[in-house]
């Protein structure tokens, strides 16, 4: 591990492996204006980002385009006053990216390993996770505004063990960047993708300008310039629970339900009066 001192305060963080905050900041500052303009992005609740370490929990749609995720990460990392933040990536995608020799660790991207995430939180850093994985970004178009973590509650245990707040990060609009006909979950199970690669979907979707595609292979097309809104909700405190709370299924279920309810309520609020791709008509 290496040490990093924020240029804007005296905070001293221990960083996992070769995370490069300077590189992450530069990439985010370059990429953010492009994303903001293309998706006509709006950010709500940035004042809710805690000063201390936290576990960000988000939803993401739009197959591999996932504009909600990229907008949130770029917005966060473009601010040098924020503490370093890591993001967990799906195991299979992570391994493919490693084979391509992409600078994952330098950009703060970790394999979906709870041990590394816990270590980062305990060292004073932030972490963002997407509990629903590929089942979230491959949702059919008609389910794009439904929050569902598909029973994944490991993030709650992580927050309780690290004793950090859970910060829900809600995104709407990304599911309109492509039109997903089906998630292909049955195909993924039948072919063994689910069992051997932890890939739960094999979607059929339409994207501009080349039409229909099958699977998670990156396409040469472009996402539709849908309007995307990212809303950071108030932190959900976990410090008041007992030290062994992470082993109590009732507490896990309670906190998970609280997160899901808060996120779904915000999605419902943001999509009220929304026209697909065009965005919402009226004030938020």
Average pLDDT of the residues in 230-246: 95
23-74 confidence digits (pLDDT tens): 999 999 999 999 999 999 999 999 999 999 999 999 999 999 999 999 999 9
Indicate the domain borders of the chain. Answer: 2-180+229-280
CATH class as words, domain 2-180+229-280: alpha beta
Give the whole-angstrom CA distance, residue 248 versus residue 102. 39
243-262 confidence digits (pLDDT tens): 899 999 999 999 999 999 99
Reply yes or no on whether the pLDDT at 85 is more than 60.
Answer: yes
* Own/partner pairs, 249-253, CB within 8 angstroms, 24+ separation: 251/160, 252/153, 252/156, 252/157, 252/160, 253/153
192 Cα distance to chain centroid: 26
Reply yes or no on whether the pLDDT at 5 is more than 80.
Answer: no
Instruction: Write down the pTM of the prediction.
Output: 0.91
146-156 confidence digits (pLDDT tens): 999 999 999 99
């Amino acid at each position: 591990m290496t040490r990093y001192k924020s240029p804007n305060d005296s905070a001293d963080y221990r960083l996992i492996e070769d995370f490069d905050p300077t590189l992450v900041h530069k990439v985010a500052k370059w990429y953010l204006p492009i994303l903001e303009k293309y998706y006509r992005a709006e950010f709500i609740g940035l004042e809710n980002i805690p000063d201390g370490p936290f576990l960000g929990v988000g939803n993401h749609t739009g197959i591999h385009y996932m504009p909600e995720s990229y907008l949130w990460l770029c917005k966060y990392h473009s601010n040098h006053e924020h503490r370093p933040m890591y993001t967990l990536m799906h195991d299979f995608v992570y391994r493919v990216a490693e084979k391509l020799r992409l600078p994952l660790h330098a950009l703060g991207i970790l394999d979906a390993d709870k041990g590394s995430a816990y270590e980062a939180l305990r060292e004073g850093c932030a972490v963002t996770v997407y509990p629903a994985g590929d089942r979230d970004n491959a949702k059919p178009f008609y389910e794009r505004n439904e929050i569902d973590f598909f029973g994944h509650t490991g993030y709650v245990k992580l927050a309780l063990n690290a004793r950090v707040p859970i910060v829900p990060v809600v995104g709407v609009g990304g599911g309109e960047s492509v039109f997903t006909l089906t998630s292909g979950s049955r195909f993924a199970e039948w072919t063994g993708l689910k069992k051997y690669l932890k890939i739960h979907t094999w979607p059929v979707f339409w994207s501009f300008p080349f039409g229909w595609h099958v699977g998670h292979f990156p396409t040469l097309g472009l996402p539709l310039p849908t309007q995307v809104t990212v809303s950071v909700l108030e932190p959900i405190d976990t410090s008041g629970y007992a030290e062994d709370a992470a082993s109590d299924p009732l507490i896990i279920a309670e906190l998970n339900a609280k997160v899901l309810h808060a996120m779904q309520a915000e999605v419902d609020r943001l999509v009220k009066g929304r026209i697909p791709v065009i965005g919402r008509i009226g004030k938020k």
